[in-house]
């Protein structure tokens, strides 16, 4: 692996919309992609166990080892950093029976503040105690950890108190309206501190394992574990547990959002639909005739008929979709808008007045803390969705009316 790469085989044309085969082991669906991300994807795709090829999604951008917005199928090995450090991160949405007319005239700030009181926000935050709704979920997770042969408390002592907490960065809770003014509850979060610590631990284990095996890597964060070894088995067991934590964490938070909305609206929410999907995860799938470990690092399952959620950035549209089962994309679709500016660059480039203008008409906490989440720091979600037109069918387009985030 000398750092040189094969030439582009063919590029996107009007006759070949959406897909670009960059090399024999790398297919790209992004019309907006910088050279650093392109080169990172090529490096990852040249790992010897990639099969049949790596796919970058329309929202692809630079990440740790492997780019965010990557679909990485592997045979007999797995790259912990290619799953990501927020194991099981994803989205959940509930379609309610309410319409915009049902809540017209109600002040939205009390709803935002009620949600902020019900759900711990920001990095490291946790619940003061285990709630009645969280208790059975925690009991289930404790049993599953015991069955998997590990104690999550060794990673984070108070892990159970973070079930039902949001985190920071691009994690959010939103109240939105669809194209027919139907009310949706929508949120984005993952496995919190315990998942992060599990990921960091196994990234380090993989790096040590590759070093002891004398394996030369093009990037230290592409260190991998080989199937059939104890470190691989331990990682998979704890990874699957963290994915389960993330899913239940979203369920717990959504239950609290439903309760807060019920109190605010003065009428119980009747759930018409609930969708809960990961976009940072690994599991076994069959592609090109073989069983592979498919790591979606910033991508959702878009198998035919599978419901999914693709959020925009703060202040922009989000999408409820159904997968088309595009085999060339390994039955995957983007997970969001994808960053164009790093957090530091966004803070240097944009102003709070620009953020206020972007959030016009949306109830949110007006603070400098969210400047790095300004929509202009992300790719245009409309472009991302045009790039994804062969991957998903859009069922609903959502526009925010309330936005909740952690610092």
Catalytic site positions: 335
Conformational region of residue 224, where left means phi above 0, alpha means psi within -120 to 50, and beta covers everything else: beta
Q: How far is residue 397's CA from residue 323's CA, in Å, rounded to a whole number? A: 15
Half-sphere exposure of 333 (CA within 13 A, CB side): 34
In terms of Cβ atoms closer than 10 Å to its own Cβ (0-12, 13-18, 19+), residue 14 is exposed
φ/ψ of residue 145, rounded to 5: -65, -40
> ω before 83 within 30° of 0 (cis)?
no
Helix axes 230-265, 192-212, angle to 10 degrees: 160
- How far is C-alpha 125 from the chain's CA centre? 20
How far CA 314 is from CA of 252, 376, 388, 401, 404, in Å, comes to 22, 9, 20, 11, 10
Beta-bridge partners for 72: 295
Q: How far is residue 55's CA from residue 19's CA, in Å, rounded to a whole number? A: 10
Cβ(22)–Cβ(55) under 8 Å? no
Cβ(244)–Cβ(144) under 8 Å? yes
Q: How far is residue 140's CA from residue 102's CA, in Å, rounded to a whole number? A: 37
Q: What single DSSP character describes residue 359?
A: T
Beta-bridge partners for 318: 398
Q: How far is residue 273's CA from residue 208's CA, in Å, rounded to a whole number? A: 45
């Amino acid at each position: 692996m000398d750092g040189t790469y094969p030439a582009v085989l063919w590029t996107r044309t009007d006759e070949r919309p959406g897909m670009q085969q960059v090399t024999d082991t790398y297919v790209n669906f992004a019309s907006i992609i910088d050279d650093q991300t392109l080169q990172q994807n090529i490096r990852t795709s040249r790992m010897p166990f990639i099969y049949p090829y790596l796919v970058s999604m329309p929202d692809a951008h630079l990440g740790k080892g492997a780019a965010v917005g990557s679909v990485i199928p592997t045979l007999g090995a797995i790259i912990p950093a290619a799953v990501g450090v927020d194991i099981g991160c994803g989205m959940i949405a509930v379609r309610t029976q309410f319409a915009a007319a049902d809540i017209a005239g109600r002040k939205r700030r009390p709803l935002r503040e009620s949600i902020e009181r019900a759900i711990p926000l920001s990095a490291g935050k946790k619940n003061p105690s285990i709630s009645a709704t969280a208790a059975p979920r925690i009991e289930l997770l404790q049993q599953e950890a015991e069955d998997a042969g590990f104690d999550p408390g060794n990673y984070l002592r108070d892990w159970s108190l973070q079930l039902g907490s949001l985190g920071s960065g691009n994690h959010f809770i939103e109240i939105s309206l669809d194209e027919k003014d139907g009310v949706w509850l929508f949120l984005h979060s993952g496995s919190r501190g315990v998942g992060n610590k599990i990921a960091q631990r196994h990234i380090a284990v993989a790096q040590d394992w590759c070093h002891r095996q004398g394996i030369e890597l093009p990037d230290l964060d592409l260190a991998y574990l080989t199937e059939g070894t104890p470190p691989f088995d331990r990682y998979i067991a704890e990874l699957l547990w963290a994915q389960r934590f993330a899913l239940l964490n979203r369920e717990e938070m959504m239950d609290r959002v439903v309760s807060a909305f019920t109190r605010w609206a003065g009428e119980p929410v009747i759930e018409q639909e609930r969708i809960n999907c990961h976009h940072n995860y690994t599991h076994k799938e069959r592609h090109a005739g073989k069983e592979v470990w498919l790591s979606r690092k910033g991508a959702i399952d878009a198998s035919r008929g599978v419901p999914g959620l693709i959020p925009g950035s703060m202040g922009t549209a989000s999408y409820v979709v159904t997968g088309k089962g595009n085999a060339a994309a390994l039955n995957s679709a983007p997970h969001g808008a994808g960053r164009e500016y790093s957090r530091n660059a966004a803070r240097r480039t944009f102003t709070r007045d620009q953020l206020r203008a972007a959030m016009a008409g949306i109830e949110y906490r007006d603070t400098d803390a969210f400047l790095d989440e300004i929509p202009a720091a992300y790719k245009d979600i409309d472009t991302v969705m045009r790039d994804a037109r062969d991957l998903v069918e859009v069922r609903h387009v959502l526009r925010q009316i309330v936005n909740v985030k952690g610092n």
